Structure 1
Amino acid sequence: MAHLFISTGEVSGDLQGALLVKALYRLAAERGIPLEISALGGDRMAAAGAKLLFNTGGIGSVGLLEALPLIKPTIALQLKARRYLRQHPPDLVVLIDYIGGNVAMGRFIRKHFSVPMVYYIAPQEWVWSHSLKTTRQIVALSDRLLAIFPEEASYYRRHGANVVWVGHPLLDRIAAAPSREVARQSLGIAADELAIALLPLSRKQEIQSLLPLILGAATNIAKAYPEARFWLPLSLRQYRPAIEAVLKQYPIPVTLGEDSLQVLAAADLAIAKSGTVNLETALLNVPQVVIYRVHPLSLWLYQRFLKFDLKFVSPPNLLVNREIVPELLQERATVANITAAALELLTHPEKRLAMQAGYAEMRAVMGAPGVVDRAATEILDLLINRKCAGSATLHE
């Protein structure tokens, strides 16, 4: 039985990890490879069949100050995972994104085990790196780096990584989305009703920093479009009570959903935080307004000490290096500005068409479907090669 260990954090890492776990088990079975997968991840990875050592779904943050309360629980679960791995040595390790935890985990693996290590969905050093230190650490940890963006592949290859560009795994996830007609019928949305998706959070901090802004804008939109209906997909069920408490402060009805793909497939517009969800929204061809805020002191620290100065933050804009979707960040993320940007998209068809043309341009650089299978194949090939090398050494 081959033991594969996967380490990731946050909701997006759990989503990508779950897709990978399913592909690994399926392809391993086809190739007759008995496989056990243990993981640091979330509920989706557990549902996909991984043995979840500890749940990392709720420990994500953006911002230096915002991360401080999470340092202690992150260290605690890392220490527990290390104890488990000492007792159950892995044959191969996969790191998915999650730079804060995975660089430390990778160093531990390198020190204590002589096994292949794959970095899948590497941290976006190619976007925001101000120093080569972290880049060099990632390259040193990676026997194989599976890149999801062309620029990511070029960047890490220039710095010495063994890179394979597999494409973006959301292409595979979106293939499972329902059609607009089926999604609207399932949600009970009439042809003359306006459906708006509210996507404010995958992290606890965003309940306070982003949700009130989005709900304030939704309240204004409802005044201009009384037929509008609002859906808010839950990223983690544990957030429901806190979200419901905030919803009670606003006069508009908002339906909490479980399936973000279904909600997005049915939507006429999305108001979304910056992140992976922007790509899902774009791949489903839904117009969107992107917002984000961190604590002002966190931003100052980034700018002062990390030279943080990004032209864009949302993935659709980053992929084509121009503004496809409007980004309202920090002090520009106000109820008035979000409302104005949303109403502009709703009232001007040419704005929506221009955005959707940008989506097509973005889609062209994301690769071809079959991404997760390509990634899983690379991982299993490394695993087999290691097993064969070990067997040959024993025979010698």
Structure 2
Amino acid sequence: MKKIFISVGEISGDNYASELIKLLPDYRWTGITGPKMREAGCGTVEKLEDISVVGLIEAVPKYFKIRKAFKKAVNELEKGVDLLIVVDFPGFNLKLLEEAKKRGIKTVYFIAPQVWAWGKGRIPKIAKNTDILISIWPFEKEVYRDYLDKMDFEYVGHPLLDIVKTETDEKQFKQKLKIPEKKKIFGLLCGSRESEVKTLLPIMLKAAKLIKKEREDIHFVIPATPNVESIVRQIVSNSELPLTITTKKDFKNPSYEVMRHSVFSVIASGTATLEASIIGNPFLLVYKVSPLTFFIGKMLVSIDFLGLPNLIAGREVIKELLQKDCNPETIARESLRYLNDKNLYQKTKQDLKEVKEKLGEGGALEKTADIIKNFI
């Protein structure tokens, strides 16, 4: 049985990789894994929860864990691997691709890093060490145009179109969480990394108190991933809000259920904002890191928006509250503006529908599985 090593560093990558593993059961899988990959039967060299972080400065405390994980991954490559698949997470995975190439191991980059936003200097290194680049964005072929003689390029569409599914209607959702039927759900999605939760959730809770003063009909719901559940519970313990935490004990994917049934949400920047766009209910994007990380990022990034929905649309369809604007007063004011303005609310729903339509036709994971089968 051929052996595939797969490396992910984000919860979104865990989602994609776990589905891919299920579609390719005739291989032996191991790697840097998330919880869904482990559920799918992938062996674990290191858990992504131990190395995932947002921001340059925020990564410093995890430096030694990341270096240790990298050494473990290289040792696994040394034992013999037929194929290395890396998913985004360029700071780690580009080095791993290089190590694989030195050892004559076939390589696939599934979901290329967003070099069109920043890091165009990485393109030559990607091309040198990647046999097949599998892209989820149609415009990326042009980005890599000068390097297509060095690697194969395959566009498959966005896998989230196949992954984002819910299992309840609003009545079932409220009954499961014991939320009064007349209450409107308001989602607070504070991220899946410890650093994100510690930064964003306290701000969200303060905003929620301000919103509650204006809207007594609101009930707040926080979906918590297993790795941050205890931190979430600790932060909300004295909130005195009409609030419920939901986890995998309640639903297969709590975040999707919350997005589906929330009249509005506040969501940490990242893949969750694209998932919410597919579901289609309006939300705010929030983001806050250390001032130095943000300053360095602004120097490197050459795009007009941070949020994926806005980048795809080419205009602001979702309000972005970044850094100093990510504060309780602004979050509350903007949330209430959407809730109280029916025209704005409906226009945003239509804009999100257009974002979804630009993601392709579905079937991305099946196409990716076929590419890998033919290659290996």
Shorter-normalised TM range? over 0.9
Aligned with residue 356 of structure 1, among 315, 335, 349:
349
Question: Residue in 2 aligned with 1:72?
Answer: 64
Question: Residue in 1 aligned with 2:335?
Answer: 342
Q: Helix, strand or coil for the counterpart of 2:219? A: strand
In the TM superposition, 1:368-387 aligns within 5 A as 368-383=361-376
Distance 1:363 1:177, change over 3 A: farther
| 2:128 equivalent to 1:140 | yes
Question: Residue in 1 aligned with 2:157?
Answer: 167
Q: Distance in 1 between matches of 2:2 and 2:335?
A: 51
Q: Helix, strand or coil for the counterpart of 2:244? A: strand
Cα distance per residue 1:261-311 (max 9 Å; x no partner): 1222211111001110011111111110111011011222334xx433531
| 2:62 equivalent to 1:63 | no
| 2:31 equivalent to 1:39 | yes
Q: Helix, strand or coil for the counterpart of 2:144? A: helix
TM-score, normalisation: structure 1: 0.88
Q: Helix, strand or coil for the counterpart of 1:44? A: helix
Aligned with residue 290 of structure 2, among 271, 289, 295:
295
RMSD: 1.8
8 Å Cα contact 2:263-2:282 kept in structure 1: yes
Cα distance per residue 1:230-266 (max 9 Å; x no partner): 111112x232222222112422142111221122221
Q: Helix, strand or coil for the counterpart of 1:272? A: strand
Q: Distance in 2 between matches of 1:144 and 1:159?
A: 12
Q: Helix, strand or coil for the counterpart of 1:128? A: coil
Note the C-alpha offset of 1:185: 4.8
The AA in structure 2 aligned to 1:151 is: F
Aligned with residue 152 of structure 1, among 140, 147, 164:
140
Cα distance per residue 1:59-79 (max 9 Å; x no partner): 222221111111110110111
Aligned with residue 52 of structure 1, among 19, 38, 44:
44
Q: Distance in 2 between matches of 1:123 and 1:74?
A: 18
8 Å Cα contact 1:181-1:266 kept in structure 2: no
8 Å Cα contact 2:194-2:231 kept in structure 1: no
Distance 1:79 1:267, change over 3 A: same
Q: Distance in 2 between matches of 1:49 and 1:147?
A: 25
Q: Distance in 1 between matches of 2:92 and 2:124?
A: 16
The AA in structure 2 aligned to 1:136 is: P
Q: Distance in 1 between matches of 2:28 and 2:354?
A: 39
| 2:91 equivalent to 1:96 | no
Q: Helix, strand or coil for the counterpart of 2:227? A: helix
Q: Distance in 2 between matches of 1:159 and 1:382?
A: 20
8 Å Cα contact 1:10-1:58 kept in structure 2: no
Name stretches of at least 5 consecutive residues in structure 1 with no aligned partner.
Answer: 26-33, 384-396
Note the C-alpha offset of 1:189: 4.6
| 2:312 equivalent to 1:319 | yes
Cα distance per residue 1:89-139 (max 9 Å; x no partner): 111111101111101111110111x2321111111111223xx42111112
Distance 1:266 1:187, change over 3 A: farther
Cα distance per residue 1:329-380 (max 9 Å; x no partner): 0111111110011001111111111111111211121111211111111111
Question: Residue in 2 aligned with 1:212?
Answer: 202
Question: Residue in 2 aligned with 1:240?
Answer: 229
8 Å Cα contact 2:13-2:88 kept in structure 1: yes
TM-score, normalisation: structure 2: 0.93
More helix by share: 1
